[in-house]
Chain A
Amino acid sequence: MENLRLLIPEIVLSAMALLLMLAELFIPRRHSRILLHLALLASAAALGTLGLAASNPAVYQGAGSLWVVDPMSLFFKVIVLAATILVLMLAVDARRDDDAHLGSFAGLILLASAGMMLLVSAVDLLMVFLSLELISISSFILVGFERGDIKSAEGALKYYLIGAFSSALMVFGISLFYGATGTTHLLKPVPQFGYASSALFLLSTLMMLAGFGFKISMAPFHLWVPDAYEAAPTPITTFLSIAPKAAGLAMMLRVFTKLIPHPALEMTALFSFLAMLTMTVGNLTAIRQNNIKRLLAYSSIAQAGYMLIGFVTADAFGREGVLLYALAYLFMNAGAFAVAIAIGNEEGYELEAYDGLAQRSLGLAVVMAFFLLSLAGIPPLAGFVGKFYLFGAAVQSGFYGLAVVAVLNSVVSVYYYMRVTYHMFFLPPRATAPAQMGLYLYSGLALAAVAVILIGVYPEPFLSVVKSSAEMIP
């Protein structure tokens, strides 16, 4: 049995998930918030064990047969866990119809994050497929969790149908891959010469791409995003918009740049077209939204588009860009959603709820403005450093067209981000009471704000972390 010590964090999480589901039966509904606190504890513990892995790499990094624990996977595991912790903090304060099934709610979140951590370190297509399925199924349920409202079940169903459909495509792709290579392992570098022309291999990679594209909401497969995001309870929307996207991208980085390098298959043009399409579609459709959750949904599609730039350049510099942008994206998106929850709790998620926020509570308005500006890529905030790195990668490896489209997209994105500040700063307030927030929400918000400003102003420590964790074992 390979050394399971490598997978201790996943084991801790899944064990706690099962425990929570069980505990739900015994703890009365009034105290069910404890379960969320327990979940928080578990993910903190998992993060702790990751610390161990980082402290002495010899012991805790290595390759199993189907998975590998290397600096990149550790980096993304930290991001996934950070996202989980932030989401659980938001969940504690987010208002819900009833506190039923909180145990399974928290359990499913932990299961999903365990799935993501597996996905990040998977090098075998079967492993990839199973972890994707684990994430998908738990998130189908989480999206439909708020059963009181009809729309949530509908959103969940849409998300499920497209999810199932895409995984069917992916499975077919995997079967073709198995046909072409005889194995689902990706460790052995696939001989490039023969496959560039074989239809079997190409069709398999493209079919698999459908499954992966669905998970990171790439352009042709992104249509489920707005409905699912709007239907899901906001903490889950935050979770969906960050963690699976980051994990999916990590897996695509590993699969399509290292193991089946897409330049060898002359598919770079296709991928850069998909990146451009994702950005443009995300930004353009976001212009017309006036529901904050849908706006942030489309914005997260656009952000995925930007991250794909690092994936298109397929070199170490591009990879570091994706890592850095994922980190910055985690904090700015979580922050934006935290504010959305703080406002959403009272006045709902339409943009009109933000009218005159600057006069009601200036601090919250300025923080939200910082998050939006960072998402738009305005210095001196984290978003700018991330975009700077990615555009640099594009310019360095000669993708000038892609860089120009990306740059124009970020100008367009400013338009709809500024529509929110327009509501907050320029319009008179409707309600006069300042927005109040729970303790967890407040601390989550503060953490995100500090991180965004810190990465923006002094990005050096983050850059060195990103540089060191960009190399992969195989």
Chain B
Amino acid sequence: MSALVFYSLSAVVLISALGVVLLKNTLHSALLLGLCLAGVAGVFASLGADFLFSSQLLIYVGGIAVLLLFVVMLSGRSSELKLRQVNDQWLAALLICAVTFLGMRRYIFEAGTAVLTASPQPTTAALGKLLLGEYAVPFEAVSLILIAALVGAVVFSKARERKP
């Protein structure tokens, strides 16, 4: 049963990821990105990381994917739809991905033998204690990062007066 779940989820994730990368129409690829992220959330669920599942859904699918959609629509133009979306260095990129995959295959087989042992417990409480205990400083650091990003977004998007 869990095999069926895993394969279907990974199919969803990989196919939509390929869609994101290869489709001509940026709008479609943005939508497919949302689907892919949802798939990833499913994978988290299958791995028993319940808090991750929910935060992935909330932040990625709800937040980032939607944001991407808006920006695509804001900047996209119908004339560009039929343009080829893949630039001319795809052969080089393909070569690099292949080589990297060979490198990765080594460690996949090296670490792949582990099998499921304990059953998953709820992680939310432990995460909460961890964030406010040992990981207090990283937590504050993330808040600083978010504020910086916020300020950045404000600065870039404010209407610029044209220089005379």
Chains A and B touch (C-beta atoms under 8 A apart): yes
Question: Is B115 an interface residue, CB under 8 A from the partner?
Answer: no
Q: Is the interface of B mostly helix, strand, loop or mixed?
A: helix
One of B23-31, B89-97, B118-126, B143-151 contacting the partner: B143-151
Across the interface, name the chain B residue whose C-beta is closest to A172. B104
- Out of B111, B147, B160, name the residue touching A18 (CB < 8 Å): B147
Closest A-chain residue to B110, C-beta based?
Answer: A199
> Are A101 and B145 also in contact (CB < 8 A) when A1-B136, A67-B137, A200-B107 are?
no
Interface string of A95-139 (1 = CB under 8 A from B): 001100100100110010011001000000011001101100110
Q: Say if the beta carbon of B70 comes within 8 Å of chain A.
A: no
Contact A134 B137 (CB under 8 A): no
A134 near B145 with CB under 8 A, answer: yes
Bound complex: CA A108 to CA B148 (Å): 7
A65 to B103, CA, bound (A): 34
Once the chains bind, are A176 and B141 in contact (CB under 8 Å)? no
Task: Say yes or no: A66 contacts B145, CB within 8 Å.
Answer: no
Smallest distance from the beta carbon of A160 to chain B beta carbons, Å?
Answer: 10
8 Å CB contact of B148 from A97, A134, A144, A153: A134
- Do A176 and B107 touch (CB < 8 A)? yes
Q: Is the interface of A mostly helix, strand, loop or mixed?
A: helix
Known: A111-B144, A111-B147. 18 other contacts (CB 8 A): A7-B137, A17-B144, A65-B134, A108-B152, A115-B141, A115-B144, A118-B137, A118-B141, A138-B148, A138-B152, A140-B152, A141-B151, A141-B152, A198-B107, A198-B110, A200-B107, A200-B110, A203-B106
Chain A to chain B contacts (Cβ below 8 Å), 29 pairs = A14-B144, A18-B147, A65-B134, A66-B134, A67-B137, A97-B163, A104-B154, A107-B151, A108-B148, A108-B151, A111-B147, A111-B148, A126-B138, A127-B137, A127-B138, A130-B138, A130-B141, A138-B148, A138-B152, A141-B148, A141-B156, A147-B160, A148-B160, A148-B163, A179-B111, A199-B103, A199-B106, A200-B107, A203-B107
B: residues with CB less than 8 A from A are: 103-104, 106-107, 110-111, 134-138, 140-142, 144-145, 147-149, 151-152, 154-156, 158, 160-161, 163
A64 at interface by CB-CB < 8 Å = yes
- The number of chain A residues with a CB under 8 A from chain B is 42
A-B contact count (CB 8 A): 85
Complex interface: chain A residues within 8 A of B144 (CB): 14, 17, 111, 114-115, 134
At the interface, yes or no: A391 with Cβ under 8 Å from chain B? Answer: no
User: Does residue A75 face the partner (Cβ distance < 8 Å to B)?
Assistant: no
